[in-house]
Amino acid sequence: ASPIPTPQLGASIFADLSPAELRAVRSFLLSRPELGLAADRGDSLATNSLFLVELQVPRKSQALQFLSGGRPRPPRLARAIVVFGEQAQPNVTEFVVGPLPRPSYYRAVSYPGRRPIPFAARPVTLLEYELMHRRLLELTEPLYRLLRDTTGFWYHNCSQRCLTFSDVAPRGLGPGERRSWLILQRSVEGHFLHPVGLELLLDHRSRDPRRWALQQLWYNGQYFASAHELAWRYEHGELALPRPPSPERLFSTYEPRGHFSTGTPTAVHGAKVCEPQGKRYRLQGNLLEYGGWRLALRLRSSAGLQLFDLRFNGERLAHELSVQEAAAFYGGSSPAAMQTKYLDSAWGMGALAHELAPGIDCPEVATFLDAHHLYDAAGPERFPRALCLFELPTGVPLRRHFDSDFRGGYRFYAGLEGQALVLRTTATVYNYDYIWDVLLYPNGVLEAKVHATGYVHATFYTPQGLRYGSRLHRHLLGNLHTHLLHYKVDLDIAGTRNSFETVDVRFENISNPWSAGERVVQPRLHRRPRRSERQAAFPFGRALPRYLLFSSPTQRNRWGHPRSYRIQYSSQAGRVLPRGWREERGVAWGRYHLAVTRHHEKEATSSSPYAQHDPWQPAVDFESFIRNDENIENQDLVAWVTVGFLHIPHAEDVPNTATPGNAVGFFLRPFNFFDEDPSVASRGPVIVRPRDPASAPAAVQRWTPARPGPGVAAEPFTYNGTYGQE
Amino acid sequence: ASPIPTPQLGASIFADLSPAELRAVRSFLLSRPELGLAADRGDSLATNSLFLVELQVPRKSQALQFLSGGRPRPPRLARAIVVFGEQAQPNVTEFVVGPLPRPSYYRAVSYPGRRPIPFAARPVTLLEYELMHRRLLELTEPLYRLLRDTTGFWYHNCSQRCLTFSDVAPRGLGPGERRSWLILQRSVEGHFLHPVGLELLLDHRSRDPRRWALQQLWYNGQYFASAHELAWRYEHGELALPRPPSPERLFSTYEPRGHFSTGTPTAVHGAKVCEPQGKRYRLQGNLLEYGGWRLALRLRSSAGLQLFDLRFNGERLAHELSVQEAAAFYGGSSPAAMQTKYLDSAWGMGALAHELAPGIDCPEVATFLDAHHLYDAAGPERFPRALCLFELPTGVPLRRHFDSDFRGGYRFYAGLEGQALVLRTTATVYNYDYIWDVLLYPNGVLEAKVHATGYVHATFYTPQGLRYGSRLHRHLLGNLHTHLLHYKVDLDIAGTRNSFETVDVRFENISNPWSAGERVVQPRLHRRPRRSERQAAFPFGRALPRYLLFSSPTQRNRWGHPRSYRIQYSSQAGRVLPRGWREERGVAWGRYHLAVTRHHEKEATSSSPYAQHDPWQPAVDFESFIRNDENIENQDLVAWVTVGFLHIPHAEDVPNTATPGNAVGFFLRPFNFFDEDPSVASRGPVIVRPRDPASAPAAVQRWTPARPGPGVAAEPFTYNGTYGQE
Ligand SMILES: [Ca+2]
Ligand SMILES: [Ca+2]
Ligand SMILES: [Ca+2]
Ligand SMILES: [Ca+2]
Ligand SMILES: [Cu+2]
Ligand SMILES: [Cu+2]
């Protein structure tokens, strides 16, 4: 199923463009002669081509006015990215196109302070990869024998036992460059773990691939100026050759090997999620509802999951919650490793949501949704099962209490089972698979979480590499890296006007009021209102205060407290580079655990698809959001949240990084926002009270059926509650 | 079912004492005239009584020699705690009693440097509570009218609409004192949230309750020297009276109220855990096996869950993993709040594992185990369903990868479903319910996790209280506090001899080897071997290095790395008091995120049941474990792990603290311990590969049945893998 916008619902203004809408935008732009767009990409980089079309999100002010009922529906617009490769001065230009469903106009839009976007900053297209591949077939000809002899695989003239490559970025050392280190790998299942020891620096800056050339080569720890030089040294026996891998079972596959010594079964299905009484969530178009929660969802082609108008019991908590960027910055001794500073939105992070497998990626009972992207393609493409939705039994009660009478009996037992709705998508950015989750709990808590799995980005093992990681196999080094994930959270806590403060504790030393002459040392609240953007930017390296509160300066809950929500971190993030060092400027959002800024339409995203290839002069300079140090009291605030972890690969990352322990994220939790826990509205609790006499069966009070259904519990619910001598 | 020891299994040496064994120890001790033990506790504190009997764990050296097969089974011993209340110099003495099943000897044992244990350091027994209650009936007589008029409830002469109390600790300001602040509360469902504004300081140090007296009173922000003074001032209209609560629905109950605006159903059962193909774990006696894991379990009456001989694929990873202590230190403006520094093992943390409700506390399909305690009772008591075990579908794959061909197809998809075995118990320490979990993942990862739920410890609202928390209701203040939980992890990584190092990254600035004149700044590993206990003690307030590695100095994995395990934290802990400040000495373990010490039999636990009532001169001084700063290279090491969080209560803590976001813990993760991820032994993966032509159904390779069973999936597994224009 696809999340087809249901026009009568307000949420539809945030729905992704339908295939028909994508086609309409494409047709309209192709019909404009002044743009000179090619109908298909052909075989040349020197064409003007439409790279991406996606929803242009309505301005917040318009959206809110519409959603609150008073104003007309905002025009439905598209964002289009065109790569102008045919001009004398090639560039990339973004357009807004409208109105849908029948577009009649377009206008160029620019990032503040920068226009146009340099041609060299564009993402690599499938065509460019194809051209790189073709050119490599020629350029690796001198290396045919070396590769065939020492690896059993080759590139030039290959039909079987082929080599393939992984490319790294940025592609050079400064603006305008486009030269990529390529890691040659055996093309086997899990090729990312099979580097053959050869890395090539291919300059592919020219629009004419015939001019592309190898600038340098690295083979098994040594540099060479040309393929011919390397081949010559090989032919003359002057090379230190890596010992070829002994023939053994492919270690990068998922095929099982070995046995658990416990002999406990794994060849049958284990515990599963099931829904004996049906679904407790509702999806209409792109509008999702569950246990008090209601939100609009989309999967933007440029960067992934983006939620809008997140409400609990009808009140908006956030206008937007979205993934902005994923970074992975590496260290290593081979040139590809030391050069790798991935910024994944340029790699199509949002359009890499491939098919989720029922029973593995999501429970069998999940609802699966398709996505449609027009991304580096001649038309909209359908990505089946790109998202899933399911209710998860968390395995732990939402709350419970046993009230002992300390005489072998109890006054009552009460509990509310724990479930959460999970909304999931993945982004397989070549080797890595990010699993992006948003969990909705019926007590007004939202959790955003990302798991990392898939293959590590790895390089050829040399002893020098051990300073940067672990040897994972005979010829394989897993390079250390830091993962950072960036989220935008446009919290609107009881209205758009909010203030932000941090709270932690300090110890006070006071006179003991009930024992003269004695002192009491105890913790007390230490509140720090943060009045400006700089005061609300928390760089890595300093401990984050433990309570980060977004509050309404005017609305109070029943007990007199400012209605607030808290962001709570679950992260082990750190800097990717020293502040200001070259490429670090392209990832300025990665300086801060949290930055709180004033909302501006012009500051819609913290990154762009161009950050990867021009981090030195980024189209979006996140630091500029903070630099003007605006007042943030009683303003529309946006929280920019960075989470991440340091990944030092280890042998157990083979075949894949596993999810346990590799998840980071954050919670949004009510903090005096409500008058009490709103999950008291759930009819899920079970309360048990003893009867008189205590030997009588307990009185069970519940609002759900006594039996959850076959396959879950054969026996009816019982509770004893007593304990004592037997 | 109870975990009955299966004598033929080695794990049985760690099994809790059976009821018969507990009775045998009790009978034996009662038969020794020189001990003068009373057969029942009667009505007097001035008796000698047996407080606790539990397993005395075999010495590690003996246990290992037995388990490795060469040496005889260690004698089965009991630990007994006797409160000698009848002597001229009353005290508490611990004994080792053996051998079971027919004890023939006992010997007193002492804590290093301290004996005997002061009488005033003993836990409060049920008898002492009963005597406190009876004495309060008398002492509150003058307050009958005040309480009845202003609260509608009373204590003296009550049969209905009664008051009850919560007591706090420590019970005084220094050694030997035993005077407790008592918080009077309405005895309604959830009485912890119903303080009436009266706190009483009861001195109950004497063994003769007739001498117990009220030393002070606090009423609605004011102190009074006696009940008579308070009553007199009330009768004369000199008191500021709290406004009585308006009659409204009981807010502390679990009974549902209100509705979710989404209208999504909650009166039916939601998603559940089910086991369509049976259990994949095995429990024999106290021996648990699952997916490579094998461990012995017990629930010690003194402090809770204790696991031994934790093995993966036959290799021991840890000799012991156990809960040591739980602390909650508060701040407040009422005397009870400012005095509250709970150390839960003195409150019977291990013996407070009350009944787990199927379908709420654990899934319906869980295996429930009983426990038996002889704790402040005249004989063994059965605690039904004190533990549970279940396989949890984690909802996220253990690993997965989609291998795109970037031409609308794929090379393969592969995934391994995520499950973990959960071992759970709870400790309801009066108001709070701790949920203690250990999760076993089939990739050699273990997660220890504790959730906090139940009622907050709360006091009567006064405006001064707002410096220390939130107002939760008209007359209710939720006081800030820090939760700390302490674990012992006697890791044995590839043998008992281990070393410990920390690893994090530092940036290096080097010449760019492929571009003359340029610099490369990149992260590299920064390893710090920690050679002594002080170097391996990580106090709060400083960032913990991100990799904490326990390694074998001699064994290496196939790729040459020292075989290691990593501890990874998930915690927001901080100090409870400034270092060295009075009661802080009793919780010296709470100074450190992590301390790594040499293993010593004499340093078996970091706390004791006496820490609560004599924190000033603690029976176990954890700092002494570190003070001698022993060398920890190539030694038997123990990791002492503190996790926790700062809890500033908020309105949503009513009726109960909820579990989402309130979990802390740590992971034990292999780090080059294996040669590859050991979960490759699982037959759980599914691999999908395209067939030629691409239009043919994909080839699905799997080792589990094609269908998980009815109730889970009506449709057979399918996977498309392709994406493209439609
Ligand atoms: Ca700003
Ligand atoms: Ca906002
Ligand atoms: Ca020591
Ligand atoms: Ca050890
Ligand atoms: Cu990684
Ligand atoms: Cu708490």
The pTM (predicted TM-score) of the whole model is: 0.98
Give the number of whichever ligand sits closest to the CA of residue A650.
5
Q: Give the tens place of pLDDT for each residue, A242-255.
A: 766 666 789 999 99
Q: Could you report the per-residue pLDDT of A691-712, keeping only the tens digit for each?
A: 988 778 899 999 999 999 888 9
- Give the pLDDT score at A106: 98
* pLDDT, mean of residues B232-238: 94
3 state SS for B517-558? CCEEEEEEEEEEEECECHHHEEECCCCCCCEEEEEEEEEECC
Instruction: Write out pLDDT tens, residues A225-237.
Output: 999 999 999 999 9
Q: Is A344 among the residues known to form the active site?
A: yes
Contacts of B422 in chain A (CB under 8 A): 395
Interchain contact, B269 vs A277, CB within 8 Å: yes
- Number of CB atoms found within 10 A of residue A89's CB: 8
Beta partners for B96? B79, B107
**Residue B488 pLDDT greater than 80, yes or no:** yes
Task: Say whether A365 and B271 touch across the interface (CB within 8 A).
Answer: yes
Residue A6 above 70 pLDDT?
A: no
- Reduced 3-state DSSP string for A569-581: EECCCCCCCCCCC
- List all residues 6 or more positions away from B624 whose beta carbon is below 8 Å from its beta carbon: B112, B113
- Look at A699 and B5; give whichever has higher pLDDT: A699
Question: What three-state secondary structure class fits A563?
Answer: strand
Pick the catalytic residue from B432, B547, B569, B592.
B432
Q: Strand locations in A132-237, DSSP E?
A: 163-167, 179-186, 195-203, 213-219, 222-224
Distance (Å) from CA A616 to ligand 5 centroid: 24
The conformational region for residue A464 under phi > 0 = left, psi -120 to 50 = alpha, else beta, is: alpha
> Is B550 an 8 Å CB contact of chain A?
no
CA distance A50 to B471: 58
CA neighbor of A589 nearest in space, from A657, A656, A638, A527: A638
Helix axes B227-235, B144-151, angle to 10 degrees: 60
The DSSP annotation for B208-221 comes to SGGG-EEEEEEETT
Beta carbons of B688 and A357 less than 8 angstroms apart: yes
Q: Tell the residue number behind the tokens 């891998």, with chain if given.
A: A245
Chain B residues whose CB is inside 8 A of the A438 CB are none
C-alpha distances in Å from residue B133, one per residue of A171, B166, B224, B412: 77, 11, 21, 70
| Residues in a beta bridge with A48 | A37, A84
Q: How confident is the model at residue A500 (pLDDT cuts 50, 70, 90)?
A: very high
**Please, is A494 exposed, middle or buried when counting C-beta atoms within 10 Å of its C-beta (0-12, 13-18, 19+)?**
buried
The one-letter code for the residue type at B303 is: A
- The partner residues of B446 in beta bridges, in order of sequence, read B440, B668
Contact of A519 with A613, CB cutoff 8 Å: no
Computed over every residue of chain A, the mean pLDDT equals 95
Mean pLDDT check: name the lowest of A467-471, B41-45, B125-129, B287-291.
Answer: B41-45
Summarize pLDDT for A637-660 with one digit per residue, the tens: 999 999 999 999 999 999 999 999
**What would the pLDDT profile of A29-38 be if each residue is shown by its tens digit?**
999 999 999 9
pLDDT at residue B3 greater than cutoff 60 = no
| pLDDT tier at A156, thresholds 50, 70, 90 | confident
Determine phi and psi for B428, rounding to 5 degrees.
Answer: -95, 95
User: Nearest bound ligand to CA B310?
Assistant: 4
Mean pLDDT across A672-692: 97
Which pLDDT score is estimated for B634?
98
pLDDT band of A41, cuts 50, 70, 90: confident
Q: What is the DSSP string of A418-468?
A: -EEEEEEEEEEETTEEEEEEEEE-TTS-EEEEEEEEE---EEE--GGGGGG
pLDDT of B607-624, one tens digit each? Answer: 999 999 999 999 999 999
With a pLDDT cut of 90, the percent of chain A lying above it is 91
Question: Distance between CA atoms of B343 and B129, rounded to whole angstroms?
Answer: 18
Ion ligand 5: residues, CB < 5 A? A 647
What radius of gyration do chain A's Cα atoms show? 29
Chain B residue at shortest CA distance from A471: B559
CB B96 within 8 A of CB B82: no
Which among B167, B344, B376, B433 is annotated as catalytic?
Answer: B344
Round to the nearest angstrom and report the end-to-end CA distance of chain B.
58
| pLDDT tens by residue, A366-379 | 999 999 999 999 99
Q: Which of residues B150 and B652 earns the better pLDDT score?
A: B652
**Residues of chain A above pLDDT 70, percent:** 98
Residue A246 confidence (pLDDT): 63
**3-class state of residue B427 by DSSP:** strand
B-contacting residues in A 479-508 (Cβ below 8 Å) = 480-482, 503-505, 507
Distance between Cα B481 and ligand 6 center (Å) = 6
Given an 8 Å threshold on Cβ–Cβ distance, is B705 in contact with A269? yes
Start-to-end Cα distance in chain A: 58
**Alpha-carbon torsion, ordered A222, A223, A226, A232, to 10 deg:** -30
- The answer to which of A65-74, A200-209, A414-423 has the lowest mean pLDDT is A65-74
Q: How confident is the model at residue B715 (pLDDT cuts 50, 70, 90)?
A: confident
How far apart (Å, rounded) are the C-alpha atoms in residues B377 and B642?
A: 31
Percentage with pLDDT > 90 across chain B: 91
The 10 Å CB-count burial string (b at 16+, else e) for B349-374 is bbbbbbbbbbbbbbbbbbbbbbbbbb
Identity (one letter) of the amino acid at A61? S
Q: Which residues of A touch B420 (CB under 8 A)?
A: 660
Min mean pLDDT across A37-46, A290-299, B567-576 is at A37-46
Q: How far is residue A683's CA from residue A704's CA, in Å, rounded to a whole number?
A: 7
> Shortest Cα distance from B269 to chain A (angstroms)?
6
CA distances from A659 to A262, A434, A436, A516, A605 (A): 23, 10, 12, 56, 28
Q: Do A523 and B416 touch (CB under 8 A)?
A: no
As a whole number of angstroms, the longest Cα–Cα distance in chain B is 97
Q: Is B16 annotated as catalytic?
A: no
A232 touching chain B per CB within 8 A: no
Question: Given a cut of 90, is residue A120 above it in pLDDT?
Answer: yes
Per the structure block, which two tokens stand in for B323? 């809960």
Six token digits for residue A193: 């773990």
Region A15-24: what's the mean pLDDT? 98
Given a cut of 70, whether residue B245 has pLDDT beyond it is no
Residue A1 has pLDDT above 80, yes or no: no
For residues A261-282, average pLDDT: 96
